[in-house]
Amino acid sequence: MSTPSTTNGHPSSGASIAEPKPASTDIDLDAPEQYLNRELTWLAFVKRVLHEADDSRTPLLERVKFIAITGSILDEFFMKRIGGLKQQVAAGVHKLTVDGRTPIQQIKESHELIRALTTEQQGLWVALQEKLGEIGVQIASYESLPEADQSWLRDDYLENIFPLVTPQAMDPAHPFPFVSNLSLNLLVSLHYPSDPTPLMARVKVPLGSGVPRFIQVRNSMTFVALEEIMANNLDLLFPGMVIERTELFRVTRNADVESDEDKADDLLALIESELQERKFAPIVRIQIARGMDSTHRGRLAAELGLDEQADVFEVDGFLGIGDLFQLAVLDIPEHRDADHRPVDPASLVGRSNIFHAIREQGALLLHHPYEAFGTSVERFLREASEDPKVRAIKMTLYRTSSKSRVIQHLINAALNGKQVAVAVELKARFDEEANINWASKLEQAGIHVTYGIVGLKTHCKIILVVRRDHDGLRRYVHLGTGNYHEETAKLYSDLGLLTCDPDIGRDATELFNYLTTGYKPNRSYKKLLPAPKLLKPALLKKIRREIRRVSEGQKGVIQIKTNALEDVDITRALYEASQAGVHVDLIVRDSCRLRPGVPGLSDNIRVVSVVGRFLEHSRVYYFRNGGDEEYYIGSADCMTRNLVSRVEVLTPVEPEALQAEIRTVLDILVDDQRSAWDMRSDGTYVQRNGHKDIDGTHQQMIKWAEGRFAEANRLRRRSARGPRGHAPSDE
């Protein structure tokens, strides 16, 4: 098999690693200082994303998109991570993390980083507003507009939004109102003209359901935030009253609400109950606009059950910065990334039957979003639903889109008499309600729906199609690193394998039998590595094998591409591999516990994070194995939750041609001089600042996929002409 190009025995990259250094015998691998904190390294990822908004090489509206992304992911951080830590504090948990921190310490340090990030966010948004003004996009205050424009906005608000607004008094007769998660609110101080007694009211800004954050002034490119329009027209809500002041606040609630599945009689009812409970979950953060009256600030904190010093975040600027997505999609092509249309997979060009293509080639590798989801995965399901030779379809479903064609293909398959079984994960965070609805729709179509295994999330991405071929039943399998979601498939970098390998087919059958029953006999797998039973031990064994190879005088190389590296056992094993002289490349998108480049501990490890146009989402595991190379792809990150609390799957990619494709992807990632960040041993990152004209990973992959597609088309046209101009038949 081919071996990756090397520098000093290490896969090629822009920053080679020196010859292996001898291990230090006095390093304590259990010492807390050897490990970084999961929450803090995740916040370091947010900072890298924020840098994209500050990078002049990035088109202006894409910079606005990146700053909006940071707002959304910080909201999620509070809902999931801070919420979970606060639950630990409330439960009296004092156990230290592997890096030596208590839950309270993690909250405090996270808050400090977030306050600094927020200041950076707001300063950057001010600079971006100036840039937007230079291209004719004005983010104006209501007061700065001419009277005619103010009048137009008032009339538009009165007609299209005002009926949705509900003021709520706050007095002894009206208790403090319920404030929904992520809602933007006006706190209004007012009194009667003849009575100076202060009164207060809360007014929710009715965002969503077609109501945007920014209102466009007529057909101009001038935009005004809705809350400003509301604040300047409060006489419509409180006629005849004297408005003293208007202040803005926004709340974030805990989303880490889960019940005990083992005690549930009905899992569906349990999840529905959790969704309802989440709406009323404790508030973990309140954001206020700078300048709020100190008495009002204290009252809000007290009413919402928060620590005024720790949990109140004063923002000098724009609250709810995730709402800037509205501006990022403005139709100004010259200030956005060039349009990207995924090409058809080169391996399927000109093939009229996807099952014939898989059978003849043995296996196909899919590269999203560079190759189209619709003409690969969706096509696989569509043809399976229509093909009279297909007998059964089995599939896992973790997330899908609101207008999913995947669901429709499954329903069509059932209507066409196929046996269809779907394992729907009801606990996919923030998609629970959608998945409940999809499960109901699938059941109504006569599809066998199960909800996975009690106590485990079903996170693997797998489709099994059983087809009656000319030589008997054959199993066709799709295994992927991403969800069956046509929208995120345009934005996330993922890999997928289409194969009819008999061993993988048998393993897939075994996996679905487990998913649909939950029974745990000694199931046998020949090639797939499923979690929670086999995957983690297999990874640790493969790491130890690379160590043994080095002890035998061979080269040891490990490359892992994952969204996060959090599991302590895997981290420790990688330290041991480095100490033994194994070269380790870790391409980790966000959280990473491991410290690279520590003398005597991790000299032979480097950690790279790639942040760019698309979200890096694929998981790849490579082991040199003495030259008999192993490549795996799948759904599992190197996180304890994935390895021991979820049903995950890694699949080997064995055909040499497909291994070469993965090798190309890995080499592009580690060689990236535009979008890559190198992690230092203290947990900070340094971006590789290549020239403006250098392509980053994602642009290189676009060109690579387009080149493969063009070559496949050229070969198809030449083949179609044939010696006498006749096209060959496709079985």
Where do the domains of the chain lie, and which CATH numbers do they carry?
A: 6-32+530-711 (3.30.870.10), 90-335 (3.30.1840.10), 346-520 (3.30.870.10)
Give the number of other Cβ atoms within 10 Å of residue 173's Cβ. Answer: 6
Helix residue spans in 315-427 (DSSP H): 325-328, 354-361, 377-386, 405-415
480 within 8 A of 398, measured Cβ to Cβ: no
Q: Tell me, letter by letter, the H, E, C secondary structure of 399-414.
A: CCCCCCHHHHHHHHHH
Q: Is 459 a catalytic residue?
A: yes
| pLDDT value of residue 4 | 47
Which residues, 6 or more positions from 289, have their beta carbon under 8 angstroms from its beta carbon?
247, 248, 249, 314, 315, 319
| pLDDT value of residue 25 | 57
Give the number of other Cβ atoms within 10 Å of residue 700's Cβ. Answer: 20
- The active-site residue out of 51, 368, 409, 459 is 459
Which residues, 6 or more positions from 613, have their beta carbon under 8 angstroms from its beta carbon?
62, 337, 340, 696, 698, 699
Helix, strand, or coil (residue 443):
helix
427 within 8 A of 402, measured Cβ to Cβ: no
User: What stretches of 639-698 adopt beta strand conformation (E)?
Assistant: 646-652, 676-679, 685-687
327 within 8 A of 692, measured Cβ to Cβ: no
Return the residue matching tokens 């090489």. Answer: 57
Give the number of other Cβ atoms within 10 Å of residue 524's Cβ. Answer: 8
C-alpha–C-alpha distance, residues 564 and 637, integer Å: 6
Q: Is the dihedral of CA 69, 70, 73, 74 positive or negative?
A: negative
C-alpha–C-alpha distance, residues 301 and 313, integer Å: 11
Angle between helices 656-671 and 697-721 (to 10 degrees): 150
| pLDDT value of residue 437 | 82
476 within 8 A of 502, measured Cβ to Cβ: no
C-alpha–C-alpha distance, residues 53 and 445, integer Å: 46
| pLDDT value of residue 1 | 42
| pLDDT value of residue 434 | 76
| pTM as predicted | 0.92
User: pLDDT averaged over consecutive 10-residue blocks of the chain (731 residues)?
Assistant: 43 47 73 97 97 95 98 95 92 92 96 97 97 97 97 97 94 82 96 93 94 96 98 96 96 74 50 56 93 94 93 96 97 95 95 96 97 97 98 94 91 96 79 77 91 87 97 97 94 98 97 87 90 96 98 97 98 98 98 97 97 97 97 97 95 98 97 96 92 89 96 86 53 44
H or E stretch at 192: strand 184-192
